[in-house]
Structure 1
């Protein structure tokens, strides 16, 4: 007698074979997305340990963060289009393999140069991986299941930023096998392999029926522009601003103009370029992208300078450096959960209220650091950080939701790619600009350096509080726009 084993019709494997996505598949896709998002921030609390181990300069430490962000931002749209053309399941798994290998290279890096190179590869593979998650949700889920999956993605992407520093602190302080900072990268290997094995079986294969062409020229020019901006900004101060740094800044301006011309010409030929000029002229895009870009600059800088202030300034270890951010992490998560409902009820006023709450948190945090230095206890910063996290989550969710309000449905994927690209560019630019400002001033007075950078962030948030009034009114279309293909 022979026994034939068949999967239950409602099992994750059977649902995937039928072209659907089981809740378990949603979970593992989110897990795959969580790792790359967290990895941008997990390194912040490990910077002092990396410095001590690899004898890195301040500018090299910035490149460890910004190099990842530049590669991520520059290739994100390309990643979405590769998934549309060659299959999202295939690209997701291939990118995950690359991310795991790059993480291992980071963990075993013998020099800071190798670490920076491996981080760039990490960012590039992350850019190929993330778009497949959103696109798979869009093409396999409907109605409430789609909305729920995308709400979870929003919460995941938001909380990954602040949880990254907490997990980084825990891993560095644990000093597993006397490896110091290396486990923050090596932990990606076993988790990534588990996600790879399971996702290969329970995530369905999808692709676009009408894939958008790959804008190779636009991608190369945009990446070159970002590089030409960020390299002199990160290296200039420590090197005394030699002539080549100013030459690169001038080159960035030329490349920026060339990028705009190439994109405009491509659109005139009927192609869909990396950054479609017609999309950027829409009210929601032209206003919302500027605001989201500014918010990302401030947020990226805050996470960088706060970690250094706590560890290098207050001489706390990595564990306490990670725990210090916990109040912000918890409130950012709770805010991400309730933000959609509040924004749906109060509209743009909710964004302004979130900005005001964040301003109150940042102002009180500056007061605590400056007035009580050097006897600042982590508990002293808990309430200011909680306020900043709660307000920031509301503002972030509202800006993310509003940017695509006017984008036609058939261009939703392109618009989402532009949004996330500029978000990641802003994070990297925040580290390169305000992070450099902090490092220059911290040599003389750490609390005043922190206050200077956070005052700049407060100006940004104050402008966003006022600017929220010019955003398009929220509609149901705006609420679901970010779910479209990334």
Structure 2
């Protein structure tokens, strides 16, 4: 069966110089690295943010979720704007806004200001990230493009794996008394360096035919996400008032109106936000299912792990971050060999990743149940290392394998849809998995039992994703 999943050999292209040199490509990949880093680096700082700004658990979930909602809603819009106005121009605008908003987040005096800044920061990231894949697709071909696509996955995954470790170090070090504010300030010098390099090194590209931005579709998508995620985030701490149930009930008609609008726009020859014809491609449908399964559970796990380790387990922010170091190491090891393995195994690599991930999370659940609350970074090292290997084997090749089976003319739209689902599901994970965890943690399960339940649930979902992944075959 593995042979069925292997991708066709990729013919070696002429050994010409890449239009994007190593430094230019690295600069471009910061558009994937920084937004993902900002999503995950704050998880380990959430308890400190809550104590300093007197934020409730629901508001802390929104610190994560509001960024993701804004980012997911506007990713495709950002891609369309880059096609029309120039991808370098939008990349620079997004990176500038992201850097400035990072500074505003760091200086936020109240939780309300922080939440507002996070929304705008997510919008700025949405202007930046789509230009990365679009520039890679327009400037590179053959092996150069395949490797750059793989490094795009590595950049996002490395940011997710390393984010909480860096966050723990920064919060614990408390440089100049900044505490949690340092997790936002760290983006500022990096953003400024990337801006300088991008101005000098990145070439400008545009689409041959620019499409009108589907603002109605973007508004309907934003409404649907808010109707879903806001009550899931705020319902539990507020005792599930009537408006939360009304909001959840409104999700279905809102999504239906969004779907109807997309169909009508496409039939009228317009450019809908989420083209139904692209969703009819088997690779896209399977890829979206895999993205939902991975990013929802991954985003939820990162959120609850930070709360549990700094809660009943009594770890410091640094210890909580160090507990994730083996996961980061596992992820980075698979990332190094990921591009080569992806060319050899294709979707079979993702299948292996789901199975390894299931072993890692099940080991974590067992260790947690046996030792809680006397856990430490060393005692959690083995299950976290195995889970990290699995995470890398799923996440790194996912976008490349799926887009490799999508017609080139639709690859740009496909990447936008996959990135939108990624950000949506990361926020959905913080809302759904976070709410389930917080509800269980307040019962006799405690935080340890709740963390183990989350790990067992991710194990089950990983196994369920395996037969779905078999449907990804080379053309």
Q: Give the TM-score normalised by structure 2.
A: 0.93
Deviation at 1:398, TM superposition (A): 4.3
CA distance 1:244–1:428, change in 2 (3 Å): same
- Structure 1 match to 2:458: 457
State which drifts further: 123-132 or 275-284.
Answer: 275-284
Contact 1:403 1:419 in 2 (8 A): no
In the alignment, the residues of structure 2 paired with residue 202 and residue 192 of structure 1 have an alpha-carbon distance, to the nearest angstrom, of 15
Deviation at 1:213, TM superposition (A): 2.2
- Structure 2 match to 1:110: 109
- Structure 1 match to 2:33: 34
CA distance 1:348–1:410, change in 2 (3 Å): closer
- Structure 2 match to 1:360: 359
Deviation at 1:310, TM superposition (A): 1.1
Deviation at 1:430, TM superposition (A): 0.6
Instruction: Tell whether 2:470 aligns with 1:473.
Output: no
User: Alignment RMSD, CA only?
Assistant: 1.6
Contact 2:323 2:376 in 1 (8 A): no
In the alignment, the residues of structure 2 paired with residue 193 and residue 109 of structure 1 have an alpha-carbon distance, to the nearest angstrom, of 20
Contact 1:361 1:385 in 2 (8 A): yes
Q: What do residues 75-109 of structure 1 show as CA deviations (whole Å, max 9, x unaligned)?
A: 00111110110111111111111111111111011
Deviation at 1:374, TM superposition (A): 1.5
In the alignment, the residues of structure 2 paired with residue 190 and residue 406 of structure 1 have an alpha-carbon distance, to the nearest angstrom, of 38
Q: What do residues 343-369 of structure 1 show as CA deviations (whole Å, max 9, x unaligned)?
A: 443444433222111111111111111
Paired residue secondary structure (2:44) = helix
Structure 2 segments unaligned to the other structure (5+ residues): 1-17
Deviation at 1:400, TM superposition (A): 2.6
State which drifts further: 293-302 or 188-197.
Answer: 188-197
Contact 1:40 1:68 in 2 (8 A): yes
Q: What do residues 248-299 of structure 1 show as CA deviations (whole Å, max 9, x unaligned)?
A: 1122211101000000000111122111112112211222211211211111
Deviation at 1:215, TM superposition (A): 1.0
- Structure 2 match to 1:318: 317
In the alignment, the residues of structure 2 paired with residue 262 and residue 450 of structure 1 have an alpha-carbon distance, to the nearest angstrom, of 41
Deviation at 1:150, TM superposition (A): 2.5
Q: What do residues 185-214 of structure 1 show as CA deviations (whole Å, max 9, x unaligned)?
A: 011112211211221122112211211221
Contact 2:69 2:424 in 1 (8 A): yes
- Structure 2 match to 1:155: 154
- Structure 2 match to 1:384: 383
Deviation at 1:20, TM superposition (A): 4.5
Q: Give the TM-score normalised by structure 1.
A: 0.91
Deviation at 1:406, TM superposition (A): 4.3
Instruction: Tell whether 2:434 aligns with 1:435.
Output: yes
Q: What do residues 402-450 of structure 1 show as CA deviations (whole Å, max 9, x unaligned)?
A: 4335432111101110011011111110110011111122233111111
In the alignment, the residues of structure 2 paired with residue 222 and residue 116 of structure 1 have an alpha-carbon distance, to the nearest angstrom, of 20
- Structure 1 match to 2:424: 425
- Structure 1 match to 2:228: 229
In the alignment, the residues of structure 2 paired with residue 278 and residue 174 of structure 1 have an alpha-carbon distance, to the nearest angstrom, of 51
State which drifts further: 330-339 or 291-300.
Answer: 330-339
In the alignment, the residues of structure 1 paired with residue 379 and residue 307 of structure 2 have an alpha-carbon distance, to the nearest angstrom, of 17
Q: What do residues 207-236 of structure 1 show as CA deviations (whole Å, max 9, x unaligned)?
A: 112112211111110111001100000000
Contact 1:32 1:192 in 2 (8 A): no
Contact 1:233 1:436 in 2 (8 A): yes
In the alignment, the residues of structure 1 paired with residue 21 and residue 345 of structure 2 have an alpha-carbon distance, to the nearest angstrom, of 34
In the alignment, the residues of structure 2 paired with residue 410 and residue 299 of structure 1 have an alpha-carbon distance, to the nearest angstrom, of 31
**Alignment size in residue pairs:** 456
- Structure 1 match to 2:213: 214
Deviation at 1:391, TM superposition (A): 1.3
Paired residue secondary structure (2:180) = coil
- Structure 2 match to 1:136: 135
CA distance 1:22–1:343, change in 2 (3 Å): closer
In the alignment, the residues of structure 2 paired with residue 436 and residue 368 of structure 1 have an alpha-carbon distance, to the nearest angstrom, of 23
In the alignment, the residues of structure 2 paired with residue 71 and residue 257 of structure 1 have an alpha-carbon distance, to the nearest angstrom, of 21
Paired residue secondary structure (1:181) = helix
Instruction: Tell whether 2:76 aligns with 1:77.
Output: yes
Contact 1:97 1:196 in 2 (8 A): yes
Structure 1 segments unaligned to the other structure (5+ residues): 1-18, 476-486
Contact 1:32 1:195 in 2 (8 A): no
Paired residue secondary structure (1:380) = coil
Paired residue secondary structure (1:25) = helix
In the alignment, the residues of structure 2 paired with residue 60 and residue 249 of structure 1 have an alpha-carbon distance, to the nearest angstrom, of 19
State which drifts further: 180-189 or 402-411.
Answer: 402-411
